[in-house]
Copies of this chain bind each other. A is one copy, B any other.
Amino acid sequence: MQNITDIIEAYLKQILNDETKVEIKRQEIAQRFDCVPSQINYVINTRFTVEKGYFVESKRGGGGYIRIQKIVLLDSHDLLDEMSAWVGDQLTEQAAEDYLIRLMNEQLLTRREAILIQSLLRKESLPMDVEDQHRMRAHLMQTLLQTIKRL
């Protein structure tokens, strides 16, 4: 673990332990680790490949970046069951949104899917008194979680 490549790899992976993705500026990282910018490309091409479970995007020009995301192909049943337990039989609009975001982060829902579902869980979409709303929302969320398991 002496060469720069390994050090930069470790640095990025350490961030990916907490965050679902890491976004860097090539030049900035190169400077921080005192190497040429193209070294960063080498790190990415050898350590963050699709085969190794990473998805990399980048943009050139002003405001350019390199973004690395860990692809999670986890057996997600456990997570879905956990969420199911958390949801219980009552759910606020805000909590619902948080769960949807979590599902998106875990790549179990696309952004579009999350938006569609969220619109159905808004209070305006559930014409009933608040108590029932919370129950209804929870019920729909439970259905969703079970459905995702089967997709």
Contact = CB atoms under 8 A, between A and B. Distances in A.
Number of copies: 2
Nearest to A142: B125
B63 A2 contact: yes
A144 B127 contact: no
B117 A151 contact: no
Query: Interface majority SS on A: helix, strand, loop or mixed?
Result: helix
Contacts of A148: 116
A140 interface: yes
Contact of A115 (B5, B124, B151): B151
Nearest to A3: B63
Interface in A53-99: 62-63
Contacts of A110: 112
